[in-house]
Amino acid sequence: MNSAYAIESTGLTRRFGNLTAVDHIDLAIPRERIFGFLGPNGSGKSTTIRLLCGLLTPSEGQVSVLDYRIPEQAEVLKQKIGYMTQRFSLYEDLTVRVNLNFIAQIYRIRKAERRARIEEALATYRLEEMAQQLAGTLSGGQRQRLSLAAATLHRPELLLLDEPTSAVDPQTRRDFWDRLFDLVDAGTTILVSTHYMDEAERCHNLAILDHGRIVANGEPKILMRDMDSDVVEVESDRPRQIARALAHADNIVSVTQLGARQRVLVDKQQGDANGYVRQLLDAAGLQAVCHDAPPSLEDVFVTVTRNTHLPGMS
Amino acid sequence: MNLSLTRLLAILVKELQQLRRDRLTFGMIVGIPLLQILLFGYAINTDVRHLSAAVADQSATQLSRRLVADMEATQVIDVIGRVATAAELKALLDSGEINIGILIPPDFERRLQQKGRRAAQLMIDGSDPIILSTARSLTNMTFNRRSNERRTSADELFEVRNYYNPERRSSVFVVPGLIGVILTMTMVLFTAVSIVRERERGNLELLINTPVTTAELMIGKIVPYIVIGLVQVTLIMLLGSLLFRVPVNGLLVDVYLVSLVFIAANLGLGLVISTLAKNQFQAMQMTFFFFLPSMLLSGFMFPFEGMPTAARYIAELLPLTHFLRLIRGIMLRGVEMMHMANDIYALLLFMLASIGLAILRFKKRLD
C-alpha cells in the first residue's frame, strides 16, 4: 500500500569536494499538498530536488519517492514525476505545439490521447494563440506556463518545481500558483523551491533551508506563531541612528528598515521586547514610538537562519 | 581615435586569463603545430617506395630471376607473392593486395634479344596517379643481359598496362576519396555538437529527467544524420559522374552500404566527442583534431604506401583509411564489397565501439 508520504528521506547528504551542499536532511512530505523549500541562493534547494529525482547521487542517507528507492529506482520514478528546471529548458527553436508533442511522445502518451491532452494543456495554460509560435519568442510568463504545461502533460503524481517563478512578475506568479492549487486539487503532490516569502506563505508545509540544513519545518502559520523572536516596530525621524543604537545590543536578532520604520526582532528569552527596545533607545538618548507587530514569514526566516551562524545551534 | 592604454591592457590581460583556464585551447596551441610537423615531416612522403608487387614468372630462367632481383634492389617494389598466370595477377590487383603485377612471358629471353620488343609486362593499379608515376619509373630501369651489354633506355624493357584509370585523370581518383573526406568533416561535427548544445541550452536537464533511455537518445540522434549523409553521397556521386565522368565500376548498392557504415561510425565518434566536450567550441576543436590526421594519413592526399610503419598503424585506426580502400575498390576497380571484408569489419567495429562508448559515457545524472 502507498505510504502516506510522497517523499521521505533520512540523513540525506550530498558533498561536492569539501562543500556539504545538503547536510543530513530528513523529510516527510505528505501527498496532495504543496511543500515549499524556502532558502537563500546556495542553501541547497536545487541540490536537494536533484537528489530527490535521482539526478544526483547522495553521499549519504536514504530517500524514498512515491515508494521508490532513489537513486536505484530513479528510472521507474521518472515516468511518474514532472520536473521544472530553474532555467527554461524546452526547445526554443521549436514551436509551442511541437514542444508539447515531443514531450508527450517522450512520456509515451498514447496517440489517441495525445492530441486531446495537448489541446487541454494549451487551453488550461492559455497558450492556444501561441501554439504555432517558436518557444524562444515567448515572454517570461508564457515560457513558464509552457514549462508547467509540459511538466504536467503526463499527469505526474509528483511535481518538482525548482524556483519556477524566479523570472516573472507578481501577477504572473499569482496565476501560476492558482494553477498549482488546481493541480493539488486533482491529486498532485507538489514540491516547490522559492526565495519569495509570499510564495512560501502559500505552501501547506514549509522547510526553511540554510547552508544545506533544514532550520525550520512546518506549516507557515505555526512557524510564525512559534517563532523564537518578538517583533517591535520603531518609528522615528532618525531611523539610521535607531538602527546603529540597536544593531549590536544583546538579544537583538535583526534590525530592518522599512521606510521611516525600523523592524526589530528581539530574542524571546529576553521577555518584554517592547520595554527592552525602549530601554536601549533611552540609554542612547533617542526619541521614538515603539509598538508590537505580528510576525511575518520573513521574520521567521531571519530568526532561524541567524541561529545556524551561532556555534552549538542547529 | 581614442585609445586608452589602461582599457586595452585590461582586455588583453583578461583574454590571457581566460585562455589559461581553457586547457583544450591551450593544448591546441601546442598540439596542432606538433601534430602537423610530425605528420608532414615523418609520415608524409611523396617519394613512394615499397609498392606491393607479385610476379608471374613464366620464363623461370636465371635471367628472369635476375630481373626480379634487380627490380627489388631499386626498393620501388616489394615482391610479396608469386603466381603462375596473368589472371591471378589481375585478381590480386582487383583485391587491392598488390599495386603492381610483373608478368614475365615464357619467351622472355628471346624477346630480350630483339630490338624494339618489350620483354615483359607491368600491370599497374593506375588509380592513384602517384603510384602510377612511381611504377612507370621502373620502365626506365637499366638491365644487363650480359655483364658487358646494355639495352639503351630507348628500348623499354616493359610494356605497361595501366588498369582502372587508363586515361590517367586525377579526378577519377580524387572523387571517391572526396566522399569519405566530406562525410568525415560533416558527420562528426553534426553529432559532436548535438549533446553539448542541448546541455548548453539547458534542454538536457529536462530530458534526463524523463523516462527517455540513453540508447534512444543516442540512436535518435544518429539516424536522421545517416539519411543526410546518404543524400550527400548521392550528391557527390552525381556531380562526379556528370562533371568528371567518374565511373562506378562496382555495385551501386555496395557504395551505399559501405557509406552507411562509414557514416554511422563517424556519427558515433561525434557522440563520443559530445560526451567529452564542455561546450560547442571544444567539440569543434576536438573534431578538427580528429579530422587533420584523417585527411593526411588515410591515403586521401598522399599514398599510404609512402608512409612509415608507425604512421600506417595509426592510419589503420582511422575509419577514413578503411573507407577509402573500400570506396576506391568498389568504384574504380569494381571489386565486390565482401572481397575487402577486413575493411568492412574494421568500420563495423569502429561504429559499434564508438556508439557503445558514447552510450556508456553518457549518464542520466548530473554528478
For A273-307, b where at least 16 C-beta lie within 10 A, e where not — what string? bbebbbebbeeeebebebeeeebbbbbbbbbbbbe
User: B365 CB near a chain A CB, below 8 Å?
Assistant: yes
Categorize the per-residue pLDDT at A2 as very low, low, confident or very high, splitting at 50, 70 and 90: low
For residue A254, count other CB atoms closer than 10 A to its CB.
17
The answer, for A56 touching chain B at a CB cutoff of 8 Å, is yes
Residue B268 and residue B290 in contact, taking contact as beta carbons nearer than 8 Å: no
Report yes or no: A105 at the B interface, CB cutoff 8 Å: no
**Residues 6 or more apart from A103 whose CB is under 8 A from it?**
A90, A150, A153, A154, B210
For the segment B209-252, what is each residue's pLDDT rounded down to a tens digit?
A: 999 999 999 999 999 999 999 999 999 999 999 998 888 999 99
| Three-state secondary structure string covering A41-72 | CCCCHHHHHHHHCCCCCCCEEEEEECCEEECC
Nearest Cα residue in chain B from A136: B201
Which of A79, A87, A92 is nearest residue B211 as measured by Cβ atoms? A79
A256 or B138, which is more confident?
A256
User: For B148-164, what is each residue's pLDDT tens digit?
Assistant: 455 444 457 788 888 88
Span A225-263, pLDDT tens digits: 999 999 999 999 888 999 999 988 899 999 999 988 999
Candidate from A54, A81, A83 with C-beta closest to B206: A83
Q: What is the pLDDT of residues B102-112, one digit of tens each?
A: 999 999 888 88
Q: How high is the pLDDT of residue B154?
A: 45
CB A116 within 8 A of CB A155: no
Q: For residue A263, which of A283, A275, A247 has the smallest C-alpha distance? A: A247
Mind telling me how many Å the CA of A230 is from chain B's nearest CA? 43
How close is the nearest chain B Cα to the Cα of A112, in Å? 20
Opening angle at CA A48, ends A46 and A54, nearest 5: 105
Residues in chain A closer than 8 A to B193 (CB atoms): none
Sheet strands (E) in B74-164: 77-83, 100-104, 120-125, 158-163
Q: Is A276 on the interface with B (CB under 8 A)?
A: no
Inform me whether the C-beta atom of residue A77 falls under 8 Å from chain B C-beta atoms. Answer: no
**pLDDT tens, residue by residue, B322-359:** 999 999 999 998 888 888 899 999 999 999 999 999 99
Band of pLDDT at residue A170, cut at 50, 70 and 90: confident
Distance from CA of B232 to the nearest CA of A (A): 25
Task: Output the nine-digit C-alpha cell for A162.
Answer: 525548482
> Residue B68 corresponds to which cell in the numbers above?
626480379
Put simply, the answer to whether B206 touches A85 (Cβ < 8 Å) is yes
pLDDT at A82: 95
Kindly report the nearest CA distance between residue B205 and chain A, in angstroms. Answer: 7
pLDDT (average), residues B166-181: 86
Q: How far is B351 from chain A (nearest CA, A)?
A: 26
Q: Which residue of A has its CA nearest to B365?
A: A55
What is the pLDDT, as a whole number, of residue A314? 36
Cα(A248)–Cα(A252) distance, integer angstroms: 7
The reported pLDDT for the residue numbered B311 is: 87
Which pLDDT does position A96 carry in this prediction?
97
The model carries a pTM of: 0.83
Query: Taking CB atoms and an 8 Å limit, are A90 and B212 in contact across chains?
Result: no
State whether residue B115 sits within 8 Å of chain A by CB: no
pLDDT above 90 as % of chain B: 47
- Which of A219, A239, A212, A189 lies closest to A6 in space, CA to CA? A189
* Chain segment A66-114, per-residue pLDDT in tens: 999 999 999 999 999 999 998 999 999 999 999 999 999 999 999 999 9
Chain B CB within 8 Å of residue A158 CB = no
Residues across chain B: 367
Residue B146 has pLDDT above 60, yes or no: no
Nearest CA in chain B to A76: B211
> What's the gap in Å between the CA of A101 and the closest CA on chain B?
14
Q: Nearest CA of chain A to the CA of B8: how many Å?
A: 35
Interval B202-206 mean pLDDT: 92
Q: Contact B272/B194 with Cβ under 8 angstroms?
A: no
Mean pLDDT of all residues belonging to chain B: 88
What pLDDT does residue B155 have?
54
Q: In what order do the strands lie in the sheet with A68-70?
A: A19-30, A5-16, A60-65, A68-70
Higher pLDDT, B25 or A17: A17
Q: What is the 3-state secondary structure (H, E, C) of A258-270?
A: ECCEEEEEEEHHH
Share above pLDDT 70 across residues of chain B, in percent, rounded to a whole number: 96
pLDDT for B27 equals 82
C-alpha–C-alpha distance, residues A105 and B327, integer Å: 39
pLDDT in tens, A122-137: 999 999 999 999 999 9
pLDDT at residue A310 in the model: 47
pLDDT recorded at residue A313: 37
The answer to whether the CB of B53 falls within 8 A of the CB of B26 is no
Q: Which residue of A has its CA nearest to B197?
A: A91
Partner-chain contact B211 A75, CB within 8 Å: yes
Q: Which residues, including other chains, have CB under 8 Å from residue B226's CB and lie 6 or more apart? A: B260, B263, B264, B267
Mean pLDDT, range A259-282, rounded to an integer: 92
Spatial separation of the C-alpha atoms in residues B52 and B96, rounded to whole Å? 10
Residue B147: pLDDT over 60: no
pLDDT computed for residue A185 by the predictor: 96
**B contact residues 210-249, partner A, Cβ 8 Å cutoff:** 210-213
The answer, for A66 touching chain B at a CB cutoff of 8 Å, is no
Closest CB to B367 among A56, A83, A92: A56
Write down the ipTM of this complex: 0.83
Q: What is the pLDDT of residue B180?
A: 95
B19-44 per-position pLDDT tens digit: 888 888 888 888 888 888 888 777 77
CB distance B366–A85 less than 8 Å? Answer: no
> What's chain A's average pLDDT?
92
The size of the A-B interface in CB pairs under 8 A is 53
Q: How far is CA B201 from the centre of its chain?
A: 37
Residue B82 has pLDDT above 60, yes or no: yes
Does residue A71 have a cis peptide bond before it, meaning omega lies within 30 degrees of 0?
yes
What is the pLDDT confidence band of residue A280, given thresholds at 50, 70 and 90?
Answer: very high
- End-to-end alpha carbon distance in chain A: 35
Query: What CA–CA distance (Å, rounded) separates A286 from A61?
Result: 53
Q: From the centroid of its chain, how far is CA A39?
A: 7
Q: What angle do CA B230, B233, B237 make, to 5 degrees?
A: 145
Q: What is the pLDDT of residue A308?
A: 55
Q: Quick check: A103 contacting B, CB < 8 Å?
A: yes
Residue B132's pLDDT is 84
**In this structure, are strands B77-83 and B51-57 parallel, antiparallel, or unpaired?**
parallel
Q: What is the DSSP string of A4-28?
A: SEEEEEEEEEEEETTEEEEEEEEEE
Q: Is B209 on the interface with A (CB under 8 A)?
A: yes
Predicted local confidence at residue A106, as pLDDT: 95
Q: Residue B213's closest chain A neighbor by CA?
A: A75
Question: What is the end-to-end Cα distance of chain B in Å, rounded?
Answer: 50
Contact A25, A48 (CB under 8 A): yes
The confidence score (pLDDT) of residue A113 equals: 94
Instruction: Please choose, from the candidates B312, B169, B180, B200, the residue with its C-alpha nearest in 3D space to the C-alpha of residue B259.
Output: B180
